Amino acid sequence: MSQGMDRTLYGNVFHRNVCWQRSYETAEGEEIVMALYGSLRNGFYNNRRFDLQNTSEFLGTTKIDGYSLYSLGPYPAVYPSENGSVVAEVRRFSGKKQLKVAKSIDYMELFGGYHRKYVDLELTGKKLKGIIYVYDEKPETEKIQHGDWARYLKEKELHE
């Protein structure tokens, strides 16, 4: 890797870090709504790691149009796609303790090659805005047509 490339990479990470810190200088009592589609869903590793059952409020499951789901091996990625849709669990983080957890998730995602996108979410009878983490570049891996990571892993297990 050339030195110029290295500097650019570092520059991007540094810039992202500054933006990340700034975006979290929020007023106390604010809340964050996240649409989680992979390892942060109920029953999966990062859900347990962040203890989401006790550190956030589950609002329901929804389908988000305009994105496709891809397998990156142990976890998935979403990327904009006209005909795709992704199954996501919607969770609300509010209060100082829960926002700290949201901040940790955000940090993990942003430094893992994802960026935040605000999307309109529809849950039975209510509409709200939330964050979905979109992969920085289009994955060259398997596209999961039905958009459901849990179903994909279950089906994969059956065929192995």
For the full predicted model, state whether its pTM sits above 0.95. no
Measured CA to CA, the distance from residue 80 to residue 66 in angstroms comes to: 6
Question: Mean of the per-residue pLDDT values for the chain?
Answer: 86
State the DSSP code for 140: -
pLDDT of residue 120: 94
Coil, helix or strand at residue 82: strand
pLDDT of residue 117: 95
Measured CA to CA, the distance from residue 149 to residue 129 in angstroms comes to: 22
- Kindly report the length of the chain: 160
pLDDT of residue 19: 52
Measured CA to CA, the distance from residue 120 to residue 127 in angstroms comes to: 7
C-alpha torsion angle, residues 132, 118, 16, 139 (rounded to 10) = 40
Coil, helix or strand at residue 71: strand
Residue 42: other Cβ atoms inside 10 A? 14
Task: Decide which of 154 and 9 is more confident.
Answer: 154
pLDDT surpasses 50 at 103: yes
pLDDT of residue 158: 84
Instruction: Over range 139-146, report the average pLDDT.
Output: 95
pLDDT of residue 16: 52
pLDDT of residue 4: 44
Query: CB-based contacts of 6: which residues, under 8 Å, 6+ apart?
Result: none
Task: Decide which of 22 and 144 is more confident.
Answer: 144
Cα–Cα distances (Å) from 139 to 73, 94, 99, 121, in that order, read 11, 32, 30, 24
pLDDT surpasses 80 at 136: yes
Q: Would you state the structure tokens that stand for residue 144, as one six-digit string?
A: 């999961």
pLDDT in tens, 47-76: 999 999 999 999 999 999 999 999 999 999
pLDDT above 70 covers a percentage of the chain that reads 81
pLDDT in tens, 2-51: 444 444 444 444 445 545 445 544 444 589 999 999 999 999 999 999 99
